[in-house]
Amino acid sequence: MKKTPLHTLDEAVAKRLEMALDYHFANRSLLALALTHSSWANEGGSQHRHNERLEFLGDAVLELAVSKELFERFTQLREGELTRLRSQLVSTPSLARLARSLDLGSALLMGRGEERQGGRDRDAVLSDAFEAVLAAIYEDGGFAAAHACVCRLFSPLWPKQEEFSPRHKDFKTLLQEIMQQRYRDRPLYRLTASHGPEHAKVFEVVVSLPDGREYAACGTSCKKAEQEAARLALEAEQALPQATAR
């Protein structure tokens, strides 16, 4: 494999990536560095730099950009919910899918051994390269440019607002939220009986609300019985239209 100097990048590859990223580099050597895998640098000798330092920076830039966007998009979500969403969005499989959409694998400068082992399509390699490219954008154009790029690339992945509306919450979740708001306490469920053959058991559950009211229900599993008991409690609270069973 011919060793391309680190400060240069094939013009066609650079233009294709800039078009896919919707970002034009003032300093393309940053893009070249972001696309240089450590295996290529190792085969070329220690004087060749690679993208691991940019990957380190890109990880932080990506986390901040995604955090900022989630924070502004979903003002009703709590810290734990935001953290869970961010973890899903910046996971290795998620970033690898985005890298494949940009065809980063074919643009990587990679050692022969790593390439023979399928490195160009390996999730870890692709996700690292994606982070490195994002860091290159940050270094070249600042956080605003990196954030704008994240918003564009992640546009198909952002959760929809309606996914977090009350009607998409199960009965137990909605009942607990109402009780927490009203009484600063949660409903308690207890299994009171079960009967029938093993293959067709019926479970009886009672939900006790913080104000002392109780509602009993049956189901073919404890989970279903609890959901039905919560539904009955919500019906009494006139909140049933806001919930959907799961």
Q: Which of 59, 114, 128, 140 is catalytic?
A: 59
Q: Any bridge partners for residue 193, and if so which?
A: 204
How far, in Å, CA of 13 to CA of 31, rounded? 10
List of residues 6+ apart from 68 with CB closer than 8 A? 147
Q: Any bridge partners for residue 205, and if so which?
A: 191, 217
Closest CA to 38 of 113, 97, 146: 113
Question: Is residue 22 among the annotated active site residues?
Answer: no
Contact at 8 Å (CB) between 36 and 48?
yes
Give the length of the chain.
246
Question: Is residue 131 among the annotated active site residues?
Answer: yes
Contact at 8 Å (CB) between 242 and 167?
yes
Q: Which of 55, 128, 131, 139 is catalytic?
A: 131
Q: Which residues are catalytic?
A: 59, 131
